[in-house]
Amino acid sequence: MDNLKEALKRKGINPSYQRMKIFEYLQGNKSHPTVDMIYKDLSSEIPTLSKTTIYNTLKLFAEKGMINCLLIEGNELRFDPNTSPHGHFFCVKCGAIYDVQLDEDCIEKIKKASSNEGHRVSELQITFRGICKNCLEKLH
């Protein structure tokens, strides 16, 4: 908990118990959770937790560059504690989201293609869609 507290303080965030638990949850959960998922998993441990608190906390974490917000399917916002450049794979069968590592050259080429058209890239989200290896194994 002390490491979490220090990480929040370094970003200028008051490390309340709820904020630390939400940050800890994100760090230990690679499923790119939604607010509802976070609420479901933490509300029994923190009875005073509200979805509004989670929304506000995630908004603060995003503003401070501690997480990325992803819009992968419909209008459902997902949250990713991995802020390094990478892509995502969305399984259209089970709904799972996986990180996809992309080399820096690939990312720079994509940004440059947009810049060559006169645009300025401030954010890059790359999402692949298909069927994940777990679902493919179940099909065979």
Q: What is the CATH number of domain 1-83?
A: 1.10.10.10
Condensed to tens digits (0 to 9), the pLDDT of residues 58-99 reads 999 999 999 999 998 888 899 999 998 899 999 999 999 999
Class in CATH terms, 84-140: alpha beta
**What is the pTM assigned to this prediction?**
0.86
Question: Hey, where are the domains in the chain?
Answer: 1-83, 84-140
Length of the chain: 140
Condensed to tens digits (0 to 9), the pLDDT of residues 98-131 reads 999 999 898 888 888 888 888 888 888 899 999 9
